[in-house]
Structure 1
Amino acid sequence: MLEVLETLDGAAVVRWGHACVEGLVRHCDEINDLNVFPIPDSDTGTNLLFTMRAAVDSIARLVPENPTAHDVAAAMARGATTGARGNSGIILSQVMRGVAEATVDGPLTGRTLADALHAAATLVRGAVSVPVEGTVVTVLDCAAAAARTCARDSPVAEVATIAADAAVDALQRTRGQLDVLEAAGAVDAGGLGLVVLLDAMVAVITGVEPQRPRFVRERRNSAAPARDAAADSQLAQDYEVMFLLRETDENQVAILRRHLGQLGDSVIIVSDGDGCWSAHVHCRDAGAAVDAGLAAGRVHQVRINCFALDAANAGAVVESPTVDFADRGILAVVAGDGAAALYEGEGATVLRCDEPISATQLLKAIRAMDNREVLVLPNGALSAQELVAVGVAARDARRDVLLLPCSSMVQGLAALAVHDQMRIAVDDAFAMSEAASSTRWGSLRVAPGRALTLVGTCNEGDGLGLIGHEVVVIEADVAVAGRLLLDRVLGLGGELVTFLVGADAPAELVEQLSEHVSQHHQGVELMIYPGGQAGDLLQLGVE
């Protein structure tokens, strides 16, 4: 007999996140095919999948041990907000934020699930500059309203099922609410994505996934007006612009919303609830949209898509792309229990190098991988010459091997953060390599003995600060060396510092360096992970 959950704790919310990803993988082509509004670019399913994967990927990086439902949902909200793709992705992030806000005081129950959906619907209505009925906005409203009809002490299984069923009913009605959908014979693509998320929650709670009809687009002779109407919109706006915004406030965001509304349409601005905002607009002047963001706060992660170029690349007719996950694995060379857990949490296979490894060991590990494509993160464990030799020996008729230029574990983590199984291997490797190379890295260690360095002679016990493989700081006090090292690596700028804490690093040292970042590098975000590596008291990466 299947066990029905009475509440969703942190572990259950994690399972829900993974179930959402799996559901979106299965329904991605179906959702893409339904995508005719506001732009017929057949990417809503892909955007939702990218966003949900970003939400789930953030769990391993942002949640503590034994997390609560709120810890997990807050991490997912942050990951979805910073990794959102398109209108639909931004709206999905607010569903995660609604769950996070509703679980501050405990697990997700029937009562708090109703509150979460109501909060999400309210957030979305407030975020969309001109809400259009017959879209995911309407579907979310209906799911939230249905959930709130339940008694406050209703089981979470009942509330989730009623909300999901109401979403399906609302989705079926979208075809008659929006002319462009009626003409195309389609229901709203984003609305179907929301149904997938709610059905995934029902499956996690009850152990049984709801059976739904496949929402196939009806091919009609009258579909041409829908294509023409959408094409008119596409011609009116040349670009989709998205960016993240920090160091701002509600007033500045309101001004930004007005400015973007004057520049274009499809304006959505949402928050992760923790100081980060994600903005989206379709417009003709991408530069002006970014300038408006700069006037409102600190802009980063700007993404600009050209609709005309997308259409030209698709032969002027945007076809629904095939989403097919490659048979690709990631092999990472890692030292330390904590670092190994981080990499494994991101889906990588780990080859431990707590003791020095040889090229033969790496080659053996590659050949032990079952994947047709293998991307290797060597993380500085072997020389370039050894890696070239390994790559040549590892490739054969049944396996492609790409070794990425990662010189440290913190660079490898940056590369993993942008890993995308849906890209072809060379594009995935390029994106990961670019992320690694743009991460400045350093390390703090204690000198094992007297030695000559580029900046002078060190004595046994001195604190050494390295940028890359070169010593740049020597101080008798390790904490002083750490502070000077941080000032050096952050002197060229940076938005995020990652600490990978070694096995022998004193807790007070980490606290002192964290405080130094807070006091002397305001606006820089700090992430601290237990690495457990020997040798380096601290590895740090700056992005």
Structure 2
Amino acid sequence: MPTHQNDAAAHMGRHCGPTPWADSLRTVHLTFTADHARQWAVLTRAALAARRTELDALNVYPVPDGDTGTNLYLTLDGAIEQVVEAHTRLGILGAATLVQECTSLGRATLLSARGNSGVILSQILRGLTQVVVERDLEEVDAPAMADCFERGAVLARKAVAHPQEGTILSVADAAARAGRVAADAGASIVEVAEAARDAASAALLRTPEQLPALAAAGVVDAGGAGCVLLLEALCRILTGDWSETDLLGVTKGPARREEWRPTVHGVPGPIDPGADALLGDGALAISSHPEGDLVGPGFEVMYLVEDSDETSIDALTATLDRLGDSLIVSGGPDLWSVHVHVDDVGAAIEAGIDAGRLRRILVTNFADQIARRRERQALGIVACAAGPGIASILREGGAVVVDSVPGARASAGQLLDAARATGAHAVLILPNDKDTVLAAEAAVTAAAHEGLSAHVIPSRTAVQGLAAMAVLDPAASVQDNVVAMAGAARATRHGAVTIAVKEALTSGGHCRPGDALGIVDGDIVLVGDDLSTIAVQVLERLLGAGGELVTLLTGSDIDAELLNGVQRWLHDEVPHAEVTVLAGGQAAYPLLIGVE
């Protein structure tokens, strides 16, 4: 879970480049601590976000519905969100012990699990956390880490009614075996983690040999690939091979892994033609999976069971096993998660009621889901806002607004909830911040599996979001609006001014606390001692290539002298420009600037 230190570092990264804290990360660690647990969770989430589309494209088993990457990401994203909220209420955010972190994360992943892959991931993580909690560990050494791997693999396999080789279960087993061998040989915790990672990677490449569906499609198992990402992130945390930018998941999309790459020609299954575009420049790509005839049960049913016991859960498992397939029952002793594919939804729910008290019942009708994608529906808008003024403007434009600020950015789950709240079956999502784009893309994929057509407008700042909203045409088609709004966002050059809070080296030179910083297209290019002067220099750069419309979004701490000086300069030097001043109310940035 993010710590106060991590949030401060992420916030600083937006203001003043690399920090001394980031340098301290490059250390090989001898044990795994609470700080490492928080960092691992966030780094794994970032890795799943970056590879989400690629994992979705690998998904052909047990159902080729192209959602494994999305479900893995949403499971961990939702769990982290729950832990942050709980620890904030308790006043221990960023200061929780390893036992507290593991207790919270183990339960949160069970509550947030989505789909087959998400439930199995929750069990792997639950096994890891159980070892820590049962032994009351303040830190994990090499032998204990091997125990964690083994427990996670055992719980994951136990949860699946009919374990299948060639899946994430095989990959987790291989990792656990290799970790144990390394630990028993006296290896360090880094060597144990690396042995587990390497064995998992090798096992992943063998999955097509074990599962005919994978071999036929020319892919490795999607869930197993997610398990490899989990272990890769752990190794990076333990070796210090990561940075603040990795935590945010804002780096340019990674190159697609050729060893995972589907064989496209003549292969059935959810090959995503937009995956390469998303993994490259991050440009807008609309996924389009083939929609063939349904094979197998027509419904996915998930729910949580409380007020039950092992005997009742065993009976429930037996009943559901007779009703359908893809059955996973996990959890205990006071809360269980159930996932199954069936044709008789009523019987599946009644069986759960017989076993205990049900919570969060989710039913997906695969046929209706496909049909709704083809319907023409009214258009809804979801937009992120970093300040009350921005939020008010967006609401007036008809958007459902999600608050999103540094340290508390909108999650994929929040964006998905907002998309549902629009009441439309076609929704455009404006992240209005580069660090929220990946969450928005994950929400789009999750929405598709509910029959909700959603698209991301690549607005990387608030001023780009407002420019996109200005060209919204409710009478036009969804596709026409996507093209027009994305074009308006990209055509808006953007800048900002702020005050440095730490010493660092930037593209504009060395800065110290209190220096005025000028940002152009997301990069700090100006450093000075007067905010008004820096603001004018930012405008000069933005207007250097021309511009007719200038938007000034004032922050919560805007100085009247700064705003008046900027307006006078625009009046004198760019008299032809149309200038709009809006009260944004955002923190940290006294002035956000857009030029069209």
Taking structure 1 as the reference length, what is the TM-score of the superposition? 0.59
How far did residue 151 of structure 1 move?
2.8
| Counterparts of 1:5 and 1:231, CA distance in 2 | 48
2:52/2:69 contact within 8 Å kept: yes
| Counterparts of 1:225 and 1:57, CA distance in 2 | 29
Corresponding residue SS for 2:413: coil
Letter matched to residue 135 of structure 1? T
**What residue number does 1:23 align with?**
47
The answer to whether 1:135 aligns with 2:167 is yes
Q: Which of 140, 145, 153 matches 2:177?
A: 145
1:163/1:198 contact within 8 Å kept: yes
**What residue number does 1:121 align with?**
153
2:383/2:401 contact within 8 Å kept: no
How far did residue 238 of structure 1 move?
0.7
The answer to whether 1:167 aligns with 2:200 is yes
**What residue number does 1:218 align with?**
263
**What residue number does 2:238 align with?**
205
**What residue number does 2:63 align with?**
39
Letter matched to residue 67 of structure 1? A
Corresponding residue SS for 1:8: coil
Change (3 A) 1:110 1:88: same
| Counterparts of 1:427 and 1:306, CA distance in 2 | 17
How far did residue 310 of structure 1 move?
2.7
How far did residue 233 of structure 1 move?
9.8
How far did residue 101 of structure 1 move?
1.2
The answer to whether 1:14 aligns with 2:38 is yes
**What residue number does 1:241 align with?**
301
Q: Which of 355, 375, 382 matches 1:296?
A: 355
Q: Which of 32, 51, 56 matches 2:75?
A: 51
**What residue number does 1:342 align with?**
none
2:401/2:418 contact within 8 Å kept: no
1:57/1:417 contact within 8 Å kept: no
| Counterparts of 1:44 and 1:89, CA distance in 2 | 8
| Counterparts of 2:342 and 2:361, CA distance in 1 | 14
The answer to whether 1:189 aligns with 2:222 is yes
1:77/1:100 contact within 8 Å kept: yes
**What residue number does 2:122 align with?**
93
Q: Which of 333, 339, 354 matches 1:280?
A: 339
Change (3 A) 1:267 1:402: closer
**What residue number does 1:311 align with?**
370
Structure 2, unmatched stretches of 5+, are: 1-22, 243-253, 272-289, 376-380, 425-596
1:143/1:167 contact within 8 Å kept: yes
Flag the structure with more relative contact order, 1 or 2, with Cα contacts below 8 A and sequence separation at least 6: 2
How far did residue 418 of structure 1 move?
8.3
How far did residue 196 of structure 1 move?
1.0
The answer to whether 1:3 aligns with 2:27 is yes
**What residue number does 2:105 align with?**
76
**What residue number does 1:180 align with?**
213
1:167/1:195 contact within 8 Å kept: yes
How far did residue 395 of structure 1 move?
5.1
1:82/1:278 contact within 8 Å kept: yes
| Counterparts of 1:214 and 1:155, CA distance in 2 | 29
Corresponding residue SS for 2:341: strand
Corresponding residue SS for 1:302: strand
Equivalent positions of 1:496-511 (< 5 A) are none
| Counterparts of 1:422 and 1:214, CA distance in 2 | 32
Change (3 A) 1:145 1:234: farther
Change (3 A) 1:222 1:34: closer
| Counterparts of 2:111 and 2:214, CA distance in 1 | 30
Q: Which of 237, 255, 263 matches 2:315?
A: 255
2:40/2:237 contact within 8 Å kept: yes
Taking structure 2 as the reference length, what is the TM-score of the superposition? 0.54
Change (3 A) 1:225 1:112: closer
Corresponding residue SS for 1:113: helix
Structure 1, unmatched stretches of 5+, are: 317-325, 332-348, 350-361, 367-375, 377-389, 407-414, 432-543
Corresponding residue SS for 1:130: coil
Change (3 A) 1:17 1:225: closer
1:240/1:283 contact within 8 Å kept: yes
How far did residue 200 of structure 1 move?
0.9
CA RMSD in angstroms comes to: 3.4
How far did residue 300 of structure 1 move?
0.8
2:166/2:210 contact within 8 Å kept: yes
Corresponding residue SS for 2:350: helix
Letter matched to residue 146 of structure 1? A
The answer to whether 1:420 aligns with 2:398 is no
How far did residue 90 of structure 1 move?
0.4
How far did residue 62 of structure 1 move?
3.4
2:74/2:412 contact within 8 Å kept: no
1:248/1:296 contact within 8 Å kept: yes
Equivalent positions of 1:392-541 (< 5 A) are 402=400, 420=413, 423=416, 426-427=419-420
Number of equivalent positions:
352
| Counterparts of 1:314 and 1:297, CA distance in 2 | 35
How far did residue 58 of structure 1 move?
2.2
